[in-house]
Structure 1
Amino acid sequence: MPDLKKFINKHTISLATSAAMPVIGMLVLSLMAHNLPAVDFGNYIFLLITILLADTFRNGFVQTSLIKFYAGTSKKKAVEIAGSAWFVGLMQAGVFVAIDGIIYLVYHSKSADAETTIQWFGIIYMTTLPAAIASYILQAEEKFGRMLFLQVLNQGLFLAFILTLIFTHKLTFQTAVYAYFLGGAITSLLTIFNGWSKIRTIRHRTKESVSKLAHFGKFSVGTSISSYLLRSSDTFIIKLMFNPALLAVYYIPQRLMEVFEIPMRAGVATAMPELSAAVHKNNEEEVASIMKRYAGMLTVTLIPIAIVAFLLAAPVIELLFGKQYHETEAVNIFRLFMCYVMLMPVDRFFGVTLDIINKPHLNMLKVILMLTVNVAGDFIGIWIFHSLYAVAIASLFTFFSGAVFGYWALKKHLKFTIRDIFSLGYQELKNVINHLLEKSKIDKAEV
C-alpha cells in the first residue's frame, strides 16, 4: 500500500466525518423529542425528511459526477468542472425552489406549520447549496480535515441554537426551522468567504462539461433515488402487511445497522477520489487494486464485528431500547442482518467503481435489480411464512443479487476475482495493524 501513514490518517479523519453527522444529529433529535410537543416534533421530522429527500437528488445529480470528473485532473480542467458543477447545482436547486414557490402560491393550508414548511423548504435548500458543493470539492481534493470541520460546524451550530432555545424556553417548530436555516446559512457563507466552495469558478463553466456532468448525473440520481427506495421499501411493506406496532420491532435492527454504515461511508468517501485519479491516468490495474483494497479491508474488518454482534444481539438491544424488545423478533432479525454484512462492502464498492469508470447506468441497473428482488422477496416471503423474518431473509437475497450483478458488470472492464478482494484486504489490514502497533511501541519508548 503506497504511503501507509497518509492512508491511515486520511481514513481516520474520513471515519470521524462519517460518524459526526449521525452522532450529533441523533443528539439534536433526542433533545427536540424531549422538549417539543409531539405535533411540533412530527412537523419538524416531516420538514427534515423532505429536505433529506431533496438532498438525495442533489447528491446524486452533482456529488458523484463532480468527484468523478474533478479528482486527479489538471488544475485548469478542475476549475472548469467546479464551475460547471455550480451551474448544474444552481439549475437543479432552481427547479426545486420553483416547484416549492408554485406550491406556496397555489396551496393554502389551514395549518400554520404546513405553511412554514412550504415557505422555508426552498429558502433552506438554496441556502445550503454552497456548503454542499464545498464538501463535494473538498472530498474530491481529499481534504477530509476541512470536510470534518464543515460537518461539525453545521451540526454544532444547529445544536447550539437548539440548546439556546431550550434554555430560554422558546423552542417551537418555527424557531427550530429558523435555527436549521441559520446553521446552514452561516456554514455556506463561511465556505464562500474562505474560497472552499469555489463559487467564482462558475464563470469558467463550459457547455461540454455541463452536458457531461448532467448526463452522468441523470444516472447517478436514479441510483440515489433507487437506493432511497431500497432502504425504505421494507418499512412501507411492513406497514401495509402487518400491525403498525411491528414497525418498531423491525426498525430497531435497521437502526443498529447504521453502525456498519459509518465505516463504509468513510471508505467510499476516501476511495472515490483515488479511483477517479486512477481512471484519469487510464490505469485499469490501479483502479482494480484500489477497489479490491477498500472492499477487502472493510469486509475482513466487518466479519469479526458481525460475529460479536450476532452473539451479543440480545443484551445490546435490551440495553439500548429496553426490556420490552428483548423477547421480540428484533433480536433474531438483527442476527439475520449480520449474515449478509460481509456482502455490503463488496456490493457498495462494485457500484462506486462502476460509477467512476463511467458506467453509471450499470450501477443504476444494479440498484434497481436489488430493489426489485427486495420487494418481490418481501411479498413472497410474507405470503408463504406470514412473518417479519421473511422480510429480513429477503434482504440477504437482495445484497447477493447486487453483488453478483456488480461482479458480472465489472469483470467486463477490470481484471480481478473475489479471492483477490479477500486476500488483498486481509494483507492490507494486517499491514495497517502492524504499522499502528509499531507506532504505539515508538510512542511508548519516547515517553
Structure 2
Amino acid sequence: MPNLKKLVNKHTISLATSAAMPVIGMLVLSLMSHNLSAADFGNYIFLLITILLADTFRNGFVQTSLIKFYAGTSKKRSFEIAGSAWYVGLIQTFVFIAIDAIVYLFYHSKSVDAEITIQWFGIIYLSTLPAAIASYILQAEEKFGQMLLLQVINQGLFLLFILILIFTRHLSFQTAVYAYFGGSVITSIFTILNGWSKIRTLKHRTSLSVKKLAHFGKFSVGTSISSYLLRSSDTFIIKLMFNPALLAVYYIPQRLMEVFEIPMRAGVATAMPELSAAVHQDDQTSVARIMKRYAGMLTVALIPIAIVSFILGGLVIDLLFGKKYHDTEALNIFRLFMCYVMLMPIDRFFGITLDIINKPQLNMMKVIIMLIVNVVGDFVGILIFKSLYAVAIVSLFTFFSGAIFGYWALKKHLKFTIRDIFKLGYSELKRVVGDLLKKSQPNKVQL
C-alpha cells in the first residue's frame, strides 16, 4: 500500500498545479477582453491558439516519452534521457521556426497584426522550450511543488505585465505579445539558472536514446493531434451544420466540463512517474494496481460531483453566462455530458497506461477510433434528428468506444477487471478521506 501522507500531499500539490494555469489564464483573458478592442483580442486569441497547437506537437513528441524513459531510472540513464529529450526538442523547435521563417519571407499580409503573429511565433516558441523541458523533468521526478512554482512564475509574470500595461494604458495586441515573450524568457532563464531544465545534460545524449524518444514520440504526437481534433470536431461540425449562434449554446457546457479536467490532469501528472518507475522495475502487478487506483479514485470521486452538477447545472449556467441561455439546449446538453463523466478517468488512464507500457501505437489507435466515431456519429445524428442533442449523445458513444478499445488492448498485457477499478478506487478514496477527516478533528486535551 502506498504511503498515505505522501499520496495525499502529491495529489494536493498536483491538483493546485493543474488548477493554477486555467485559473490565472482565465483571469488574464478576462482582463484582456475588457481592455482590448475586439480586433486586437481576436488577434491575440489566434496567436494563442497557434502557440497551443504547436505546444501540442512538443508535448506529444517530448513530454510523454521523456517521462516514460526517465522516471525510476539511474542517474546516468536519466542524464542520457534528459539530454536526448533536449536534442529532440531543439530539432522539433527549429523545424517549426524554419516553417515560420519561410511563411514570413513569402507570405505578405495586408494586416499588420498578422505580420506580428508570424514574426513572433518562432521567437516565442523557442523561448518557451527550457521551461517546457523543465516542467517535464520535474513531473518525471515527482517534484510537484516545484512544478507549481514554475507555473505560478510563468503565468504570474504574464498577468503582472498585462496589469502594468493596463494601468499605464499601453495595452495593445503588440504589447501583449511583448508581455507573453517577456514572461516566457524570464521563466526559461530561471529554470536554466537553477538547474531545473538540466540543459547541461545535452552533452550526455546518445543516438540510441534519441531514436527511442523519436520512435515513441511519433505515436505520442499522433495521439496528441488526434485528441486535439477530437476536442475540436464538435465545434467545427456545429458551425458547418447549424446557425453560428448555436455554437455558443454548445460551447457553454463544453467549457463547464473543464472543471472535471482539473482533477484528471492532476491525477495523470501524479500517476505517470509512478507507472513509469513500475514498468522499469518490470512489475506488472504494480503497474495494474497504480492504474486501477488512480482511475478508480477519480471515477468514484467524480460520480457525486456529476450528480450535484446534473441537479444544479441550471443555476451555474445562469450565474456564469446569464439568463439568456436559460431556455436554450445548454442545460440539457450539460446534463447529457454528466452521463459519461464516469467514463472519462477510465478512458484517460487506459490511454496513459498503454503509453507507459510502450504501446503508444495502441493509444493512438484508440483516440483515432474515438475521433472517427465522433465525426461520423455527429453527421449521422444531425442529419437524422437535426438537433444539438444528437451531438451531445454521440459523445457518450465516443467515450464508450475509447474505453472498450482501451480495456481490450490493456487486458492483453495486464491482469485487471472493471470491477477491480471501482473496488480499489472506492477503498483508496475512503482511506484518503478518512485520514483527512481525522486530521481536521481538534486534538483532545488530557486534563
TM-score (norm 1): 0.99
Residue by residue, what CA displacement relative to the aligned partner does 1:14-56 show, whole Å, maximum 9, x if unpaired?
0000000000000000000000000000000000000000000
Q: What aligned pairs does 1:208-247 form with structure 2 within 5 A after superposition? A: 208-247=208-247
Map Cα deviations across residues 98-155 of structure 1 (whole Å, 9 max, x no partner).
0001111111111111110000000000010000000000000000000000101000
C-alpha distance in structure 1 between counterparts of 2:349 and 2:217, whole Å: 18
CA RMSD of aligned residues (A): 0.9
1:143 matched residue in structure 2 = 143
Following TM superposition, by how much is the alpha carbon of 1:377 offset from its aligned partner in structure 2, in angstroms? 0.7
* Alignment of structure 1 residues 366-385 onto 2, 5 Å: 366-385=366-385
Aligned to 1:201: 201
Whole-Å Cα distance in 1 between the matches of residues 2 and 322 of structure 2? 46
Matching residue of 1:17: 17
Q: How does 1:181-200 map to 2 (within 5 A)?
A: 181-200=181-200
In the alignment, what sits opposite 1:416? 416
Structure 2 CA distance for partners of 1:445 and 1:308, relative to 1, 3 Å = farther
Q: 1:119 corresponds to which residue?
A: 119
Paired AA for residue 408 in structure 1: W
How far off its partner does 1:437 sit?
A: 1.2
The aligned residue for residue 34 of structure 1 is 34
Instruction: Give the AA of the match of 1:437.
Output: L
| AA in 2 matched with 1:45 | I
Partner of 1:110: 110
- In the alignment, the residues of structure 2 paired with residue 385 and residue 399 of structure 1 have an alpha-carbon distance, to the nearest angstrom, of 21
What do residues 54-107 of structure 1 show as CA deviations (whole Å, max 9, x unaligned)? 000000000000000000011100000000000000000000000001111111
Q: Residue 441 of structure 1: CA displacement?
A: 2.0
The structure-2 alpha-carbon separation of the partners of 1:99 and 1:439, relative to structure 1 and needing over 3 Å to count, comes to same
Q: Distance in 2 between matches of 1:47 and 1:379?
A: 30
Residue matched to 2:365: 365
Cα distance in structure 2, aligned partners of 1:16 and 1:385: 42
1:336 equivalent to 2:331? Answer no
SS in 2 for 1:312: helix
Q: Which residue of 1 aligns with 2:405?
A: 405
In structure 2, the CA distance between the partners of 1:443 and 1:67, relative to structure 1 (3 Å rule), is: farther
Partner of 1:322: 322
Secondary structure (helix, strand or coil) at the match of 1:226 reads helix
Query: For the residues of structure 2 that align with 1:64 and 1:2, how far apart are their CA atoms?
Result: 23
The residue aligned with 2:67 is: 67
Cα distance 1:329–1:75, how it changes in 2: closer, same or farther (>3 A)?
same
**Structure 1 445/84 Cα, relative in aligned 2: closer, same or farther at 3 Å?**
farther
Cα distance in 2 for residues equivalent to 1:427 and 1:110: 62
Q: Distance in 1 between matches of 2:327 and 2:442?
A: 48
Q: Distance in 2 between matches of 1:442 and 1:402?
A: 46
The structural deviation recorded for 1:189 is: 0.2
Which amino acid counterpart does residue 420 of structure 1 have in structure 2?
Answer: D
Deviations 1:166-185 (A, max 9, x none): 00000000000000000000
Q: CA deviation at 1:364?
A: 0.1
2:389 is the counterpart of 1:389: yes
Instruction: State the secondary structure of the residue aligned to 1:424.
Output: helix
Write out per-residue CA displacement over residues 381-431 of structure 1, whole angstroms, 9 at most, x where no aligned residue. Answer: 101100000000000000000000000000000000000000000000000
- Distance in 2 (CA, whole Å) between partners of 1:262 and 1:445 is 39
Distance in 1 between residues matched to 2:418 and 2:23, nearest whole Å: 34
**What corresponds to 1:258 in structure 2?**
258
Distance 1:185 1:36 in 2: 24
Unpaired stretches in structure 2, ≥5 consecutive residues: none
Post-superposition CA distance 1:273-313 (Å, at most 9, x none): 00000000000000000000000000000000000000111
One-letter amino acid matched to 1:383? L
Q: Deviations over 1:240-264 (max 9, x none)?
A: 0000000000000000000000000
Report how far residue 2 of structure 1 moved.
Answer: 1.3
Letter in 1 for 2:164: T
Aligned to 1:85: 85
Separation in 2, partners of 1:402, 1:362: 11
Structure 1, unaligned runs of 5 or more:
none
